[in-house]
Amino acid sequence: MQVFSKCFLIIILSISFALSACATSAKPDSPDEDFAPFSLPGLRCVLGNNAKAEPHLRGYNGVFSLTSDTNEENAFVPLFSGLNLEHYFDAQVVTEPGAVFFEPRRAPMNFERINEHTAELFQPVTPVYGVESLTRFTLTEPHYLDMHFRCTPLREDLAGGFLGVFWASYINAPEDKSIYFLGAGSSLDEPRWIQFCTQSHNRDSTVCSEKDDFKINFEGEDSTLFKAISPLRYSVPFFYGHIRDHVLIFIFTPGPMIRFAHSPSGAGPTEKGDDTNPAWDFQMIVPDYTVGQDYELEMRLVYKKWLGRDDVLQEVRSYLEAPGKE
């Protein structure tokens, strides 16, 4: 019955996407409708929905580009994006790898520029996983991009009784593909750093918190980043990576069950073709979800010159110790 239900939903999804494509093909992609630039004195970005915006390809949302006054090169692969809402998932085998596996990238998504520093992406209830979402991006001085995500699951029969939400960030040709985080048992005051670079795509890809004891019994033998669990654990909800002489720090407000994910090649070949671009990803797991209830994730993306690990720890402290973040 569950397989039949999902097959039926796939048919409905295909019709919905086709109608959406017809509706949007008549209007041009423009900053007023699908994406727009935003800037601070030291940070610039383009935010948008799943629309095409040369050279950015259709089917990727979030941060189309991210540059600073000290680095004009896009931190993300120009064809793709960062903080891209990539997957919804449950325990069931994905029977259709396109529109279902990448449902948030394929389903209609609305863009709205709220003010000169803020944009929202609203996605109505998706046809297969039945999730409505609202993402708010806010540029904050001097070099921060804050993201607030809220979703509402409206299907009561997700396999395994949980909802998984996955974001991908496609990193533009860093010489060091690794992400770095604090290992289990360490802290901001007594750090013990872990360098994490997976050997191949879908191998030991996901790192859980030391407090995360939620085991998912996935169906089938197919391999994905969120199914491939690493034996490593992190202690504080943040990680960072090097992009040339800059650092990109992902910091998460405590509360939701957050898992990190990494791929050494998930962002495809480099522009030169001599290497692969990594993906620095993360997930939110909602166990025992309630239909119609809102679930939220807040995080900060820091993009600045690399000033050392002490500076990273200070950025994390400043965010996590701010009022309302405990």
Q: Calculate the average pLDDT of the chain.
A: 91
Instruction: Please state the rounded mean pLDDT for residues 303-314.
Output: 98
Query: What are the tens digits of pLDDT across the range 175-189?
Result: 999 999 999 999 999
pLDDT value, residue 326: 67
Instruction: Provide the H-helix boundaries in 74-173.
Output: 103-106
**Residue 298 φ then ψ, to 5°:** -125, 140
Cα–Cα dist 268/275, whole Å: 9
Q: 47-52: long-range contacts at Cβ-Cβ below 8 A with a sequence spacing of 24 or more?
A: 47/111, 47/119, 47/121, 47/137, 48/111, 48/119, 49/109, 49/110, 49/111, 49/121, 50/105, 50/106, 50/108, 50/109, 51/24, 51/111
**Of the CATH numbers 1.10.3720, 1.10.10, 2.60.40, 2.70.98, which one belongs to the domain with range 82-320?**
2.70.98
Q: What is the token pair recorded at 267? A: 């962002």
Query: What are the tens digits of pLDDT across the range 110-166?
Result: 999 999 999 999 999 999 999 999 999 999 999 999 999 999 999 999 999 999 999
pLDDT value, residue 271: 93
Query: In the chain, where are the structural domains located?
Result: 82-320
Band (107; pLDDT cuts 50, 70, 90) = very high
Q: Does the pLDDT at position 256 exceed 70?
A: yes
Q: Is the peptide bond before 78 cis (omega within 30 degrees of 0)?
A: no
Kindly give, in sequence order, each residue whose CB lies less than 8 Å from that of residue 27, ignoring residues fewer than 6 positions away: 33
Q: What pTM, to 2 d.p., does this model score? A: 0.90
**Residue 9 φ then ψ, to 5°:** -65, -35
Q: Does the pLDDT at position 172 exceed 90?
A: yes
Band (5; pLDDT cuts 50, 70, 90) = very low
Query: What are the tens digits of pLDDT across the range 282-297?
Result: 999 999 999 999 999 9
Q: Does the pLDDT at position 307 exceed 60?
A: yes
Find, among 312, 290, 296, 293, the residue nearest to 258 by Cα: 296
Instruction: Please state the rounded mean pLDDT for residues 63-91.
Output: 97
Instruction: Decide: 86 and 166 in contact? Cβ < 8 Å.
Output: yes
Strand partners, 63: 47, 82
